[in-house]
Structure 1
Amino acid sequence: MNGLDIFSLAGRRALVTGANTGIGQGIAISLARAGAEILAVGRSSMDETIDAIEAHGGKVVPVMSDLSDSVGAAAALERSWDELGPIDILVNNAGIIRRGDAVDFSEADWDDVMDVNLKSVFMLSQALARKAFTEERPAKIINIASLLSFQGGIRIVSYTAAKSGLAGLTRILANEWAARRINVNAIAPGYIITNNTKVLREDPVRSAEILKRIPAGHWGKPEDIGGTAVFLASAASDYVHGAIFPVDGGWLAR
């Protein structure tokens, strides 16, 4: 295998949650350009992602699923495996955010974020592992963590708790599954231009504060996460287990 082939995803099938927009869309397009067939999972239209992937000759199949229903999400993965073939790569990207002071934060907002950002990640990972173990196949799981996996943040208590939990989940699943040829790693995006950061970007004071701390001097783009995802999905990362890769313009180094 030469230096270029080691990053090839030709012949691989990748399931990407939240692939309709933002970071999930950027990852799905990057994996497709590396040769993977994409199963784009979400509850909204995937037309934009499909058009972008097919424009470069890639193959993509939309899979409608509500990630707030963890049991249903796992069932969708199992059904996709049975109907379309084995899934080699799982990208747990889908996530939501709710903002508010911790003292006033509602139980509903806590549960909604935990269900999508942490519980469904585990259930999907478990479903993939069970299928892979049964068929004795290797697999790659890539979780989308956050800077809040390392820091506390402010006014996003459930999001911080979920992303901190995701860091721990990444490590424990890596510990349990590495010997079974399943790599579990995570990417921690910095401040990326997505729907989740719209409120921050539209606040001139907060946006200026954020930009002042980023050594790169600008907000990241969804496609900036794609290269790291390709690495973690490819043979180049076969000996990488339980790692969390910040892709943050240098934020954590500041």
Structure 2
Amino acid sequence: MSALPPVSLKGRVLLVTGGTQGIGEGIARAAAEAGAAGICITGRDVARGRAVVDALGVPACFVAADLADAAATARIVDQAEAALGPVDGLVNAAGLTDRGTLLDTPVELWDRLFAVNTRAPFILTQALARRLVALGRPGAVVNVITMSSHGGQPFLTAYSSSKGALATFTRNSANGLRRARIRVNGINIGWADTPGEHAIQARDGRPADWLERAEPSQPFGRLIRPRDVAGLAVYLLSDAAEMMTGALIDFDQNVMGTYE
């Protein structure tokens, strides 16, 4: 029996959107620990982006970009490759989670969430896939989605819909790119302890100790943390997952479709 392939990113150059905090930062840090040859992160917070890049310990760059801007998004792969060389893997971790029900969501909010959560991953995946196909190189894409892509709560109408579209795009692009050996997989994340979630809880008027109150009620006693997700993302980017594409993995401590 042959040995299991290691979970290693040695020699790989990665592009991680939303890499200045939360899930994206966790994945970037884990990728560096797994031996990535270079990592480019994107985000809107320049100071935070530079701080993360400086802490990675591998060749890295930061591209300041608003993913709601299609033209700026279309330039990101070029910028990453100018700094680090050909990109082998993409992680679409950036996302907006603004609230809104069917009755009170304005069209502008709907469009903004779809632009960042769905259109940006499309633009970036397309740009990377075109380069990889032209070069005859394999590659991997990981889309950070959400359990809300299964339907979501009533106050997450636009968010859930945009992520549901991203889930479908994940499978469609995986099917279209598999002959080129470009793998595309997605992670449906459950309730997570991230800076973005803390900001949302504060905006919704929750007390400062909301996390301490929420965690004991969870089946495993805490919320998901960026480090938890990062390990799975690195696996999906590595050759250890080379036979896996089009998967949508529910990464949650609740089981979809069951009831207590």
Q: Give the corresponding residue for 1:15.
A: 15
Q: Distance in 2 between matches of 1:95 and 1:136?
A: 30
Match of 1:190 in 2: 190
**Contact 1:17–1:41, Cα closer than 8 Å, also in 2:** yes
Find the residue that maps to 1:102 and give its secondary structure: coil
Say whether the 8 Å CA contact 1:200–1:207 is kept in structure 2. no
Q: Equivalent residue for 1:157?
A: 157
Q: Aligned partners of 1:79 and 1:197: how far apart in 2?
A: 29
CA displacement at 1:211 relative to structure 2:
4.9
**Is the CA contact (8 Å cut-off) linking 1:188 and 1:244 kept in structure 2?**
yes
Aligned-partner residue type, residue 154 of structure 1? P
- Structure 2 residue identity aligned to 1:26: G
User: In the aligned structure 2, how far is the partner of 1:172 from the partner of 1:14?
Assistant: 22
Structure 1's unaligned 5+ residue stretches are: none
Structure 1 residues 60 and 2: alpha-carbon distance in aligned structure 2, compared to 1, 3 A threshold = farther
- Report the TM-score, using the length of structure 1 for normalisation: 0.90
1:138-149 matched pairs, under 5 angstroms: 138-149=138-149
| Partners of 2:236 and 2:70 in 1: CA distance | 24
How far is the alpha carbon of 1:136 from its aligned partner?
Answer: 0.6
Q: CA RMSD in A?
A: 2.4
Among residues 229, 233, 240, which one is paired with 1:229 in the alignment?
233
Shift of the alpha carbon at 1:78? 2.5
The correspondence for 1:219, drawn from 188, 210, 223, is 223
Contact 2:68 2:116 in 1 (8 A): yes
Letter in 1 for 2:138: P
Query: Which ranges in structure 2 are unaligned for 5 or more consecutive residues?
Result: none
Q: Give the deviation of 1:210 after TM superposition.
A: 6.5
SS of match in other structure, 1:103: coil
- Paired position in structure 1 for 2:101: 101
Deviation of the 1:153 alpha carbon: 1.4
User: In 2, Cα distance between the equivalents of 1:89 and 1:81?
Assistant: 12
- What displacement does 1:236 show? 0.7
> 1:52: how far off?
3.2
8 Å CA contact retained: 1:78, 1:128 = no
Q: Which residue of 2 aligns with 1:40?
A: 41
Is the contact between residue 89 and residue 233 of structure 1 (CA under 8 Å) also seen in structure 2? Answer: yes
Q: Distance in 2 between matches of 1:100 and 1:241?
A: 33
What is the aligned residue count?
Answer: 250
Per-residue CA deviation, residues 180-221 of structure 1 (Å, 9 max, x unaligned), is 1100001111111123322348737x9799657742121111
Q: Percent identity?
A: 34
CA positional deviation for 1:101: 2.7
> Would you say the 8 A contact 2:68–2:115 is kept in 1?
yes
Deviating above 3 A after TM superposition, structure 1's stretches of 4 or more consecutive aligned residues are 199-204, 206-214, 250-254
User: In structure 1, what is the Cα distance between the partners aligned to 2:222 and 2:7?
Assistant: 28
1:203 counterpart SS class? coil
The reply on whether 1:132 has 2:135 as its aligned counterpart is: no
Work out whether 1:80 is the aligned partner of 2:71: no
Report SS of the residue matched to 2:219: coil
- Is residue 142–residue 184 contact of structure 2 (8 Å, CA) maintained in 1? yes
Provide TM-score, normalisation by structure 2.
0.88
Answer with 29-38 or 82-91: which moved more.
82-91
